[in-house]
Structure 1
Amino acid sequence: MLFSGRFFAIFFVFSVVSALDTVVDLGYAKYRGQSPSNSTVEWLGIQFAAPPVGDLRFAAPQDPVKKDGIQSANQHGPICIPTELYPIPSGRSEDCLYLDVYAPAQTGNSSKLPVFVWIQGGGFNSLAGPNYNGTGLIKAADNGIVVVTINYRVGPYGFLAGEEIKKGGSINNGLKDQIKALEWVQKHISKFGGDPQHVVLGGASAGAASINLLLGAYGGRNDGLFHGAAIDASSFASMRNVEQSQFTYNNLVTRTGCASKNDTLACLRNLDIADLQRENINTPLPNAQNAPLYMYGPTVDNDLIPDLTYRLFHQGHFIKVPVIFGDVTNEGTTFVPKNTSDVGDADTFIQSQFPQVKLEHLAKINELYLQPNQTQDFPNSGPYWRPASNAYGDIRYTCPGMDMSTVFAKAGAPSWSYKYDVQDPDTVKSGVGVPHTVDINAVFGPDYISGDAPASYRTSNAPIVPVVQGYWTSFIRSLDPNKHRHSRSPEWKGWDSGKGHQRLYIRTGQTKMETVSTSQREKCDYLVSIGEALWQ
């Protein structure tokens, strides 16, 4: 018995040491992670593709370069350079194709845990939520998942388009970076204890748009890169094809002094990054009066993106996997100028974002959203700020998300929908209400995001965090938000479960199922009907 006990002790110590071994060999490099607590191990700043610099600027992502020795994975990689930020601050670089991995400390490298890959937003012109920490989600999942967060190129670095780019470079490189990262997950995540056959995508705003585009990539070709998706604020921007995008290339060539060169693409590639970034600015889109919120974005290239998002999904060209779609109550308030004082201001803003909009479209939108009895007064704002925000939020986010819920349900894929209405006293008082992507604070936990969470998420709204995390981690673990949900939360019924458009209404102390109002459905029916005309 003494020998048996000593053997057990030795085996136990060896097992723990093995579980905490943080050096992972990826073939092209070895990375040593760190364990900031006894519960998780993190590997920060893993390079998943070659630096997209020099001749690889405006090119599809390539395999990562080989590195000798053991690399310290103890700090985040640089963030990709956004549009309209000059001079380039520290911590941002063209060499930015890095990812982070978070895993439970005691599970061992040979475990097969579900994997959650987070794609951050930022309108495809910035990375708005870099370096989220997966520790909170792992704890909420009872140490039962692995979390991966990724960078991808944005602005012209990721989404410049034109004939020259098509011939000498690559279109939609930001999305191709995401695919490269997902291919990396398939090849390597098992070395971190993750299961490549159980990968769930998550993303908000442009991250949500990315997931929709990945679901419809190559006309819905399933390459087995993921198996479910939780999509927050589906962002359906106005898209362009390569020909329509030529002006962005021509304008950048003109501003950088490359117009006189025989090979304008080579000239752009040879520019010092500071000189190129100086000219990385927003300009009005054709048929618009003002510059849009976001200048660059995914392009219909008849390949990776074969058609408009609405058209692809309505024709059934998408991967059928379990999905969650949802939005916050006030999707538009952080985008529309607060001084919007009349219908003309509101319509000009909408036209600048959707330059294909027709006068009859604006007339109907004005009828639905911009009547005098719908105006509201909030501090330091124009009376049409909130009505215009309601219109823009529905056009770009809420109605596309509801439509996607319907599309998946009709296709027989498990589909859940939610409305997030957690009230923070400060944002409600200001008129911002429940703003775009504020629900990420509940998904990751207020201590694990970049930036500051509303103060109430640590006080009066703290109870909503375990409820939301219960649903999300249950979905990550089982592709069902109910199986492991928080013990005091209601069953989340599917979008089409025999009672029509049902969704989960999320509010502290009041979470429940609700049916979407007739008024909201009628507005969305119209906005979805003109989606293709708006090039969404």
Structure 2
Amino acid sequence: MKYLFLLFFLFLLLNKIIGLNNNSENTKKQNISDWIFNRHGHNFKNKTKESEDTKTKCVYCQNPTIELTGGKIEGRISFVAGKNKPAIVFEGIPFSEPPIGKLRFLPLKEKKPWNGILNTTKYSAACLSNTTSTRSPQKYISEDCIYINIFTSPKCLKNKNCPILFYIHGGGFAYDSATMFNDTQIIQKYSSDGIIFVIPAYRLGVFGLLDLGNDKVVKRNLAMHDIIFALEWVQKEIYNFGGNNKRITAMGNSAGASALMYLCGSPAVREGLFQQAFISSGVPFFRKDANLKQSFALLEHFNCLRDNSTNKTFSDKQKVECLRKIDSLDLLRQQQYNENFDIVFSGPESDTEILPFDNYVHLLRNWKPIPLMITTTIIEFDRWSDDRLDKECFKATGTFGYYSLQSYNACFDRYKDEFNISTHMRVSYESLHSEAFLTSLVNTRFGGISYVGEFDI
């Protein structure tokens, strides 16, 4: 009897232990479920189908991978406060071969296929920028910078029909980058609402604007070629990110807006590359040989202009081969030094492919009508100095096709005695607003829809 009681007691104790272990396992599962719920905003316990539950957990608990033409890439899941909808972020996607070494100063080449899964969870380096005209230095810069960043969502990946905002960054074609923006704001304003946000990089300064006087050896306006190349890549690949390539809105601010204005009138841009345009504070000033002086100043400094022993001028091919041997940071430093003497790369210029026009008015004759939003701000150019009236009158009159000294003098006389606002700001302000109005008017008359606005900033 004594032993029977002892066996019964051991049986109860064993049951208790087993029960505790089961409860411990259940608690562990509950904790995991609660963590998923709190972290991701989804209560998987309410799922009725095991397959759906597994699929959802896979989307939210593992870095997503997608397959592009060249191979597979891995992104990351990102959440922001106040939004229970996650974004799927791919940063640093290579959309061309790096334009370095022998590929420096050449149009972009298609990225070669790769093996394995490419990690695209962090930004690449920004394109080289070191100029006297910016207060926006980038943390990491490199000549190997041609990458694209894409913010999408699980909804888009599932439906494959989301609209795309293709954003061209500003910076005077000399600074700023595709890596400087706030991820949280992009996710809050776009990705979480089912809009795919795309930011491409493009070459800046000497690397994107070198001019040898023709387009035979080095194409002028390589920066613009880069942007068009990025748009073509998006057309081909955006479906893999859940986008509809017939729902692309191209948007640009400042220099990015100017680039977009050029694209809308360029014969190099095929129909349907993007379907809508949002132009914000664009300054569409370009002219012939705008970057020739800075280009030849660099050639001269680095002894790439002529053979010093014979004093024979190098061919264009020899000039480029010489510049390709110069360290990228040395080119950048000398570019900045030259700016102290008003020798600058001023942005895109007239060429034979993208901008075969004398000025913006001529470009407007080739404008392709499109649903268009064009905006300005109340105060533009508020950080410039007050000694630029002569330059601004030169730019403003040239933009509208007036090149005579009489036109320049009329502009200068109109603004020289006004002191209620910085004089150069006034002429730039009125010129920019005139360009916006003229652009919207032409777009409407050619059959497009135009919306014009002004921000109170």
- TM-score norm. by structure 2 comes to 0.77
**1:107 Cα offset (Å):** 3.8
**Distance in 2, Cα, partners of 1:135 & 1:146:** 14
Within the candidate set 299, 312, 327, 1:272 is matched to 327
Report the Cα distance in structure 2 between the residues aligned to 1:6 and 1:230, rounded to whole angstroms.
Answer: 43
- Deviation of 1:351 after TM superposition, in Å, equals 5.8
1:75 matched residue in structure 2: 122
Contact 2:369 2:444 in 1 (8 A): no
1:236 paired with 2:287, answer no
Query: 2: distance between equivalents of 1:90 and 1:131?
Result: 9
Letter of the 1:27 counterpart: T
Aligned equivalent of 1:178, options 203, 212, 227: 227
* Matches of 2:130 and 2:367, distance apart in 1: 30
The answer as to 2:302 corresponding to 1:256 is: yes
The yes-or-no answer on 1:389 pairing with 2:437 is no
Is the 1:330–1:390 Cα contact (8 Å) retained in structure 2?
Answer: no
8 Å CA contact 2:397, 2:407 repeated in 1: no
Aligned-pair distance for 1:180?
1.2
Q: Is the 1:313–1:407 contact (alpha carbons within 8 Å) kept by the matching residues of 2?
A: no
Say which SS state the counterpart of residue 71 (structure 1) adopts. strand
Cα 1:216–1:104 change in 2 (3 A) is same
Structure 1: stretches of 5+ with no match in the other structure: 377-384, 422-433, 435-536
Contact 2:280 2:375 in 1 (8 A): yes
Deviations 1:183-217 (A, max 9, x none): 11111111111111111011101100111111112
Are the equivalent residues in 2 in contact too, given 1:80–1:96 (CA < 8 A)? yes
Q: In the TM superposition, what whole-angstrom CA distance separates every residue of 1:311-370 from its partner, at most 9, and x where no partner exists? A: 34442x1222100011001112222x1xx3xxxx45334367579665433432244433
Alignment of 1:456-495 (within 5 A): none
1:405 maps to 2:440: yes
Rg (Cα) greater in structure: 2
Equivalent residue number for residue 517 of structure 1: none
Q: In 2 relative to 1, CA 135–320 (structure 1 residues): closer, same or farther, beyond 3 Å?
A: farther
Q: Give 1 or 2: higher helix fraction.
A: 2
Residue by residue over 1:17-52, the C-alpha shift from the partner in whole angstroms, topping out at 9 and shown as x without a partner, is: 465561011132321111121521100111111111
Question: Which of 22, 43, 46 is 2:93 aligned to?
Answer: 46
- The structure-2 alpha-carbon separation of the partners of 1:354 and 1:253, relative to structure 1 and needing over 3 Å to count, comes to farther
| 1:19–1:108 CA contact under 8 A, matched in 2 | no
Cα–Cα, structure 1 residues 10 and 295, in superposed 2: closer, same or farther, change >3 Å? same
Higher RCO, Cα 8 Å, sep 6+: 1
Kindly provide the amino acid, as one letter, of the partner of residue 275 in structure 1: D
Match of 1:112 in 2: 161
Q: Is the 8 A contact 1:291 1:352 kept in 2?
A: no
Distance in 1 between residues matched to 2:448 and 2:337, nearest whole Å: 39
- Does the Cα contact within 8 Å between 2:92 and 2:122 map onto a contact in 1? yes
Gaps of 5+ in 2: 1-44, 80-84, 308-313
TM-aligned CA distance change 1:252 to 1:30, over 3 Å: same
Contact 1:190 1:196 in 2 (8 A): yes
Does the residue aligned with 1:300 lie in a helix, a strand or coil?
Answer: coil
Residues 61 and 128 of structure 1: is their aligned pair in 2 closer, same or farther, counting only changes over 3 Å? closer
Deviations 1:205-241 (A, max 9, x none): 110011111111217x534210001110111224224
Is 1:298 the equivalent of 2:348?
yes
Which range is displaced more, 94-103 or 266-275?
Answer: 266-275
Secondary structure, in 3 states, of the residue corresponding to 1:279? helix
Asked if 1:30 corresponds to 2:66, the answer is: no
RMSD: 2.9
**Equivalents in 2 of 1:313, 1:267: separation in Å?**
35
Report Cα offsets for 1:131-157 as digits up to 9, x if no partner: 324654554456221110111001110
> Structure 2: how far apart are the matches of 1:140 and 1:83?
31
Deviation at 1:114, TM superposition (A): 0.3
Give the AA of the match of 1:9: K
Matched, 1:416 2:451: yes
Distance 1:401 1:89 in 2: 30
The structure-2 alpha-carbon separation of the partners of 1:106 and 1:303, relative to structure 1 and needing over 3 Å to count, comes to closer
1:120–1:129 CA contact under 8 A, matched in 2: yes
Task: Provide the aligned length of Structure 1 versus Structure 2.
Answer: 389
Q: 1:12 aligns with which of 45, 52, 56?
A: 52
User: Identity over aligned residues, as a percent?
Assistant: 23
8 Å contact from structure 2 (residues 174, 205) kept in 1: yes
> Whole-Å Cα distance in 1 between the matches of residues 298 and 211 of structure 2?
11
Please give the secondary structure, in 1, of the residue aligned with 2:110: coil
Question: Partners of 1:107 and 1:16 in 2: how far apart?
Answer: 14
Inter-partner Cα distance in structure 1 for 2:187 and 2:105: 36
Match of 1:375 among 409, 414, 419: 419
